[in-house]
Amino acid sequence: MKEALHKAIQAAAMQAVQDGIFRIEEWPSVILEVPPQKEFGDFATNFAMQAARAAKTNPRVIAQAIVERLKEPWLERAAIAGPGFINFYLKPDWLYNMLAGILAAGPRYGQINTGAGRKIQVEFVSANPTGPLHVGHGRGAAVGSALVNLLRAAGYDVEAEFYINDAGNQIDNLAASVNARYLELLGQSVSFPEDGYHGRDIIETAQRIIDRDGEKYLTMPQEERLAVFKELALAEKLAALKEDLAAFGVTFDVWFSERTLHQAGAIEETCRTLRQKGYIYEQDGALWLKSTAYGDDKDRVVIRDNGVPTYLAADIAYHKNKFERGFDTVINIWGADHHGYIPRVKAAIAALGFNPDQLEVLILQMVSLYQGGELVKMSKRTGQGITLTELMEEVGTDAARFFFIMRSTDSQLDFDLDLAKSSSNENPVYYIQYAHARICSIFRQAAENDIVLNDMAEVKLEFLNTAYEIDLIKKLGQYPEEIAAAAAERAPHHIARYAHELASLFHTFYNQCRIIGVEPGLAAARLAMVAAVRDTLCHALTILGVSAPEKM
């Protein structure tokens, strides 16, 4: 309906120009909004006010000219308000036609094609495989996977990727940490590495090596032992990481190993290319990227004076690889501590000849856990930071995912553990899931009363005429637009908000309108409508990676 109204306004405005009412060369966009109050109609636009400056005409004159030339069969009336707003009041038929279309789409309602198959890569989590995932990783995992689902629903060709940091100091420190714990457990006196990992999982890894191989590595030269432990620990940590993500409902199409960049000589090749282009220079024995040429606050080292590439050098080669794979857009989801890293990566992308605007970076702000009104920092089990696994055990996967997603990525998230566990209307995920389960219960009751909807096309939707039903149908009709806007803004939290609003309207309808036991035609119409609500809630929850239970 928005599209039809959009075209009608444009056509009426163009007709007014042809009729000599006003002249205009630069047409503004037609922006339609749903008025905050029902008395202002179904849709409203400020088009006349936007066009007034270019047309050098009073906006009310433009608005009047448009209103007089609107002759659409679905339009009941259009009214001018204030300095030139136009409010549109549509005939009830458009609602019933829209609901019929929603019912015809069934569970696929919400699948749109604004993406038109454009290729997007979303890289997220990409945590160092040196220990368990923590709650910060959990937010990135939930948001990233929901964004992938959202973009796919909008018609984009999306590839989800995890970048495995399996080279560099962090992996050397992992090996050294496991080595120290291995020797300690076997009674050896050893100094723990200054930059080592102190988590209990490191002790457990060392113990598993002992349980499997005993003192086999004790007499091995330390360099060889570290090489063995590096591979054993990396394989174990990566497997555990994948297992935790799978339990959290997160999967990836590609697991990209940083090592492959080193092994293929991609880092050296990339630096050589940048040097030939004049974007890398040598100073004090090191190689520097001229990132200030692209807005960075200072130039950055890519190859240290000892010949070892920096993390930035590997990241530049990795992004070069991404763009060479032919993605139209590359989206990275990074933690708040990476904000300053964006200009230097974009500088390198531009220097390599790619369009830096094709790289989008979403920054995730911090997560704070609260229980009993108090900030929770440490795990009761280990005395260290809360892991994602512990959070899932505490509140469940559905609640954890929803709470991580329901706020914008650029806002800090205060995660209330007590609320997430509660079975109350104040818990947003429970509230939405209960709406879906309640609808499923309605259909079970209908079947018990021999009420079956065999053909949705035969249902007389005109029976739906209360304010509660009209509001619900209108909200259903907004869903494709919500998908399109949320995908364009890379904002899955909009879908969480929409699902909550739809559930709220359904609960209000349910509390005011009977379904079973009313006149058969009305019962059929209400059942059809709530079937559309059920399918839309299920679609939205699926985007969020949250289950849609049939019973609660």
**CATH 3.30.1360.70 location in the chain:** 2-90
Short-list 446, 395, 426, 432, CA closest to 538: 432
Helix (H) or strand (E) holding 279: none
pLDDT tens track for 335-374: 998 888 999 999 999 999 999 999 999 999 999 999 999 9
Percent of the chain with pLDDT over 70: 99
Q: What is the pLDDT of residue 92?
A: 84
Three-state DSSP class for residue 368? strand
Residues near 87 by Cβ (< 8 Å), separated by ≥ 6?
A: 35, 40, 41, 43, 44, 78, 79, 80, 81
Instruction: Classify strands 85-90 and 119-123 as parallel, antiparallel or unpaired.
Output: unpaired
Residues near 56 by Cβ (< 8 Å), separated by ≥ 6?
A: none
Taking the C-alpha atoms of residue 351 and residue 348, their distance in angstroms, rounded to an integer, is 5
Residues near 250 by Cβ (< 8 Å), separated by ≥ 6?
A: 125, 141, 142, 144, 145, 545
Average pLDDT over residues 420-441: 97
Residue type, 81: A
For residues 9-20, b (16+ Cβ closer than 10 Å) or e, as one string?
beebbeebbeee
Q: Domain 2-90, what architecture? A: 2-Layer Sandwich (3.30)
Taking the C-alpha atoms of residue 534 and residue 539, their distance in angstroms, rounded to an integer, is 9
Taking the C-alpha atoms of residue 116 and residue 18, their distance in angstroms, rounded to an integer, is 35
pLDDT tens track for 252-280: 999 999 999 999 999 999 999 999 999 99
Three-state DSSP class for residue 524? helix
**CATH 1.10.730.10 location in the chain:** 96-114+425-544
pTM > 0.75: yes or no: yes
User: Based on C-alpha coordinates, what's the Rg of the chain?
Assistant: 29
pLDDT tens track for 208-257: 999 999 999 999 999 999 999 999 999 999 999 999 999 999 999 999 99
pLDDT tens track for 120-169: 999 999 999 999 999 999 999 999 999 999 999 999 999 999 999 999 89
Joined tokens for residue 351 = 């220097």
- List C-alpha distances in Å: 387 to 139, 174, 510: 12, 18, 40
* Runs of H (alpha helix) within 372-513: 388-395, 397-405, 417-421, 428-448, 467-477, 479-489, 493-512
> In terms of C-beta density within 10 A (0-12 exposed, 13-18 middle, 19 or more buried), how is residue 388 classed?
buried
Average pLDDT over residues 27-40: 90
Q: What is the pLDDT of residue 217?
A: 96
Q: In the CATH hierarchy, which top-level class contains the domain 96-114+425-544?
A: mainly alpha
Question: Which residue's entry shows tokens 């076997």?
Answer: 186
